[in-house]
Amino acid sequence: MIIVLMGYMGSGKSTIGRHLSEILSYQFQDLDTFIETTVGLSVPDIFKTKGELFFRKKEAECLKILLESEDNLVLALGGGTPCYGTNMKMISDASNVTCFYLKASIPTLVNRLMPEKEIRPLLNQIETKEELAEFIGKHLFERNVFYSQSDVTITTDDKSIKSICESIVVELI
């Protein structure tokens, strides 16, 4: 079985994924890390030197490889992964996948992302919390059509990692 975690950047996909994989004794894979290993560059360097289109093409290729895995796997997607090309269809059509949307509110995302905006290619031009909130709100509005196609939505605001993982495990039973 493959458990796919999707949601906006800063929603906790990688953190929850690591803990969930330990609980279930599954392998963990962060899609961005897999892309970095495949390309030989960090995500920010891929965006800077090769552009977003190159990144999105590699993202789709790497997603396909991971979704074809026969191992038990927890897969943390990038925030935009479900929204490009046929990625969401690929996820939905995979027979061995359960997809979870980790939903965080705009204030939660702003608080998590503001301190690390310099290392996130899509956010490094944003100056203030207000600009970041507006940017996130616009993105969430655009991406909701994709995120809402998940099998299960888990709201993560004010919940512990343990509580979120327990909610996911209950849904799998």
Q: Please check whether residue 118 lies inside any domain of the structure.
A: yes
Task: Assign residue 147 the CATH number of its domain.
Answer: 3.40.50.300
56 is in an annotated binding site: yes
In a domain, 159, yes or no: yes
| Structural tokens at position 169 | 């495990």
Q: Name the DSSP class of 68.
A: T
Q: Is 25 annotated as a binding residue?
A: no
**Domains of the chain: total:** 1
| 120 among annotated binding-site residues | yes
Residue 7 resides in a domain = yes
Classify residue 171: in a domain, yes or no: no
Residue 10 in marked binding region: yes
Are the C-beta atoms of 173 and 28 separated by less than 8 Å? Answer: no
Is residue 79 a known part of a binding site? yes
Question: Is 18 marked as binding a ligand?
Answer: no
**How far is C-alpha 76 from the chain's CA centre?**
5
153 is in an annotated binding site: no
CA nearest to 36, candidates 123, 121, 94: 121
Domain that holds residue 11: 2-166
- 140 in a structural domain: yes
142: buried, middle or exposed (CB in 10 Å: 19+, 13-18, 0-12)? Answer: exposed
What tens-digit pLDDT sequence spans the chain (173 residues)?
Answer: 999 999 998 899 999 999 999 999 999 999 999 999 999 999 889 988 999 899 999 999 999 999 998 889 999 999 889 999 899 999 999 989 999 999 999 999 999 888 776 767 677 788 888 988 999 999 999 999 999 999 999 999 989 999 999 999 999 98
Q: Does the annotation place 112 within a ligand binding site?
A: no
